C-alpha cells in the first residue's frame, strides 16, 4: 500500500496533462491552490490506512491474492465488508469535512466486477478476465481510480444516437485489431485530477441504435489525448488569497472536472464492454446502488463536522443553553444518524452476486440516497439558523488584520467573552463553506445530484416496491382473499 506522501508523489510522477483552470492551462496541479485541498482529502484515505488504530476499517484482505490492501481497492466479500465500507467513509468524512473522492472508483470496481462476470456467462465474452487482470494491478499499485459515468447528455428528450452533436455521449468511433478509439466527454468527475486511472462506464440503459455508446474501459489519467476542464465552485478564489481563515475548511476541499476523450485509443485488454446493450442497465444500476450506499457514510461524516461546528458556534454565541438551540441540534443529530442507519441497513441486507462479491440491498440503498437528497439541506438550514446572520456578513480576515479597522472587527465580532473572537470567526467560516461555499458542493449539491438525481432514486424505489405483493397482504387481511393459515 502507498503512504499518503507516496500518493502525492505519485501524482507528481504522472506524465504531462492537458488541465485547464479558470481559462488557463496549468503545469503543476499538485501544488495549485484550487486543487491541492482536494488532493489532501484523497491523501487522507492513504494516511488513515497507515495508522494502526484505523487499519481494521481502512484495510482488507484481497479476495484475489490474500494480501493486505487498502479497502478502497477491495471487492466486498460479505455484508461485514459492506458495513465496514460505510463506517470507513464516515471516518474519512470526519477527518476531512469534505468529499474525499476515492469512493467513486471503489463503487465502479465492484459494479464492473459482477457485471462483466454475468455478461461473460451469458454471451461467452472474456471481459471479466480482462477486468480481473486490471483489478490485480489496481490492488498492487494502490491506485486512486476515477469512476467515470455521467455524460453531458445534451437534449434529454432524445437518446445518445439522436443528439445533434454525437460528442455529448462517449462512444466508440473506431474498432481496430489492437483496440478501440473513443470520443466524447464525461461531466462532474469527482477527484479525476487526483486519480491515477479512469474507469469509464455507460451513463444509462442503451437501445440497439445506441450500441456504439455501450462501452466500458480504462485509461491512464495522463493519456495525452485527454483534456480536463476544472469545475468552478462557489467562493473558490478565496483559496488564492494569502489567508486561509476565510476559506473555512483550512486544508481540505472537493473537486469536480469535465474530461474530454479526444479520439482516445484503448487497447482491447482494457475494454470491459463494447456494444453489449443488454448489460448497460445492470452496470448503471449496480454502480448507482453502491454509490447511493456510500452517501450513508461520507455525508454522515461531513454532517458530524457540521453538527460539531454548530454546537461550537452556539457556545461562542452564548446560546448553547437555550432550549430551542438544544432541540435544533438534537434534530440535526437525528437526521444525520437516520442517514447512517440507512447506509448500514442496505449493507447488512446485502447479497452475494454470481461473481462472488457482495451487492447492497438495492431498495434500501435508494431509500438511503433519497433521504440524502433532503436531510443535509435541513441540517445546513439549522446550522445557519443557530450560527446567525454573521455567517454571511462577517468582514474578511484582511479587515480583521487591518491597522485601520481590525481593532473594531475584533471588538464588535465578539460573542461569549470566554472564547477568542478569532475562534468564532473561524467557526463561522467553516459553517459558511459547508453550507454555502466550496465545500457545500460536496455536502449539499452532491447530496442532491451525486449518484443520480432524486427522481432517479424514486424510479428505482417504484420499480422495487412490489406493490402487487403488498396488495395481496391487504386483500388477505380484509377477507377478500382466503387466509389459508387457519
pLDDT at position 440: 84
Q: What is the mean pLDDT of residues 136-165?
A: 97
**Using CA atoms, how far apart are residues 76 and 230, in angstroms rounded to an integer?**
32
**Using CA atoms, how far apart are residues 240 and 212, in angstroms rounded to an integer?**
42
Q: What is the mean pLDDT of residues 290-296?
A: 98
Residue in the block written with cell 495525452: 224
pLDDT at position 371: 98
Positions marked catalytic: 99, 103, 190, 256, 291, 295, 298, 446
How buried is 451 (Cβ within 10 angstroms: 0-12 exposed, 13-18 middle, 19+ buried)? buried
Does 59 belong to an annotated binding site? no
pLDDT at position 486: 83
pLDDT (tens digit, 9 = 90+) per residue, 100-130? 999 999 999 999 999 999 999 999 999 999 9
Q: Is the pLDDT of residue 407 over 90?
A: yes
pTM: predicted TM-score of the whole model, two decimal places: 0.97
**Using CA atoms, how far apart are residues 155 and 135, in angstroms rounded to an integer?**
35
Q: What is the mean pLDDT of residues 435-463?
A: 93
Domain pair 4-276 / 283-470, same fold: no
Domain range summary for the chain, segments of one domain joined by +? 4-276, 283-470
Q: What is the mean pLDDT of residues 302-319?
A: 98
Q: What is the mean pLDDT of residues 426-454?
A: 94
Q: Is the pLDDT of residue 26 over 90?
A: yes
CATH class of 283-470: mainly alpha
Q: What is the mean pLDDT of residues 160-188?
A: 98
Q: What is the mean pLDDT of residues 231-246?
A: 94
Question: What is the DSSP secondary-structure string of 284-335?
Answer: HHHHHHHHHHHHHHHHHHHHHHHHHHHHHHHHHHT-TT-HHHHHHHHHHHHH
Q: What is the mean pLDDT of residues 458-484?
A: 95
pLDDT (tens digit, 9 = 90+) per residue, 50-86? 999 999 999 999 999 999 999 999 999 999 999 999 9
pLDDT (tens digit, 9 = 90+) per residue, 182-213? 999 999 999 999 999 999 999 999 999 999 99
- Alpha helices of 319-420 — where are they, by DSSP H? 323-348, 362-372, 375-387, 390-393, 397-400, 406-412
CATH 3.30.479.30 fits 4-276, yes or no: no
**Using CA atoms, how far apart are residues 70 and 139, in angstroms rounded to an integer?**
8
pLDDT (tens digit, 9 = 90+) per residue, 348-389? 999 999 999 999 999 999 999 999 999 999 999 999 999 999
pLDDT at position 484: 84
At residue 485 the predicted structure's pLDDT band, cuts being 50, 70 and 90, is confident
Amino acid at each position: 500500500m502507498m503512504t499518503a506522501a507516496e500518493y502525492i508523489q505519485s501524482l507528481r510522477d504522472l506524465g504531462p496533462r492537458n488541465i485547464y483552470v479558470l481559462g488557463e492551462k496549468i503545469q503543476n496541479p499538485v501544488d495549485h491552490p484550487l486543487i491541492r485541498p482536494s488532493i489532501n482529502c484523497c491523501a487522507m484515505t492513504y494516511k488513515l490506512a497507515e495508522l494502526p488504530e484505523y487499519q481494521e476499517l481502512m484495510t482488507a484482505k484481497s479476495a484475489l491474492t490474500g494480501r493486505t490492501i487498502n479497502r478502497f481497492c477491495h471487492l466486498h466479500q460479505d455484508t461485514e465488508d459492506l458495513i465496514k465500507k460505510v463506517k470507513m467513509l464516515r471516518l474519512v468524512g470526519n477527518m476531512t469535512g469534505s468529499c474525499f473522492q476515492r469512493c467513486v472508483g471503489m463503487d465502479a470496481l465492484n459494479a464492473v466486477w459482477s457485471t462483466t462476470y454475468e455478461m461473460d456467462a451469458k454471451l461467452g465474452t472474456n471481459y471479466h478476465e480482462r477486468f480481473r487482470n486490471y483489478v490485480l494491478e489496481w490492488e498492487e499499485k494502490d491506485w486512486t481510480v476515477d469512476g467515470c459515468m455521467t455524460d453531458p447528455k445534451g437534449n434529454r428528450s432524445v437518446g445518445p444516437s439522436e443528439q445533434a452533436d454525437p460528442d455529448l455521449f462517449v462512444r466508440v468511433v473506431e474498432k481496430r485489431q489492437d483496440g478501440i478509439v473513443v470520443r466524447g466527454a464525461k461531466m462532474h468527475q469527482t477527484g479525476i485530477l487526483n486519480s491515477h486511472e479512469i474507469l469509464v462506464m455507460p451513463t444509462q440503459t442503451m437501445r440497439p441504435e445506441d450500441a456504439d455508446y455501450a462501452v466500458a474501459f480504462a485509461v491512464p489519467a495522463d493519456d495525452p489525448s485527454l483534456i480536463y476542464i476544472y469545475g468552478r465552485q462557489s467562493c473558490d478564489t478565496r483559496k488564492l488569497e494569502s489567508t486561509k481563515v476565510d476559506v473555512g475548511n483550512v486544508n481540505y476541499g472537493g473537486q469536480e472536472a469535465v474530461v474530454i476523450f479526444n479520439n482516445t485509443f484503448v487497447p482491447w485488454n482494457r475494454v470491459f464492454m463494447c456494444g453489449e446493450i443488454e448489460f448497460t442497465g445492470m452496470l448503471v444500476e449496480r454502480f448507482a446502488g453502491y454509490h447511493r450506499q456510500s452517501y450513508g457514510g461520507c455525508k454522515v461524516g461531513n454532517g458530524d463536522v457540521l453538527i460539531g461546528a454548530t454546537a461550537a458556534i452556539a457556545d461562542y454565541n452564548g446560546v448553547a443553553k437555550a432550549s430551542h438551540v438544544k432541540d435544533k441540534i438534537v434534530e440535526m443529530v437525528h437526521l444525520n444518524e437516520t442517514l447512517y442507519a440507512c447506509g448500514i441497513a442496505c449493507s447488512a441486507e446485502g447479497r452475494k452476486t454470481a461473481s462472488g462479491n457482495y451487492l447492497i440491498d438495492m431498495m434500501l440503498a435508494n431509500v438511503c440516497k433519497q433521504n440524502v437528497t433532503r436531510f443535509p439541506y435541513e441540517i445546513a438550514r439549522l446550522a445557519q439558523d443557530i450560527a446567525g446572520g454573521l455567517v454571511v456578513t462577517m468582514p474578511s480576515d484582511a479587515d480583521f488584520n487591518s491597522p485601520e479597522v481590525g481593532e473594531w472587527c475584533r471588538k464588535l465580532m465578539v460573542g461569549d467573552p470566554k472564547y477568542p473572537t478569532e475562534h468564532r470567526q473561524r467557526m463561522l467560516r467553516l459553517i459558511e463553506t459547508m453550507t454555502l461555499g466550496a465545500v457545500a458542493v460536496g455536502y449539499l449539491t452532491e447530496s442532491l445530484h451525486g449518484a443520480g438525481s432524486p427522481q432517479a432514486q424514486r424510479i428505482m424505489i417504484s420499480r422495487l416496491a412490489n406493490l402487487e405483493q403488498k396488495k395481496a397482504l391487504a386483500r388477505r387481511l380484509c377477507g377478500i382473499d382466503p387466509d389459508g393459515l387457519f
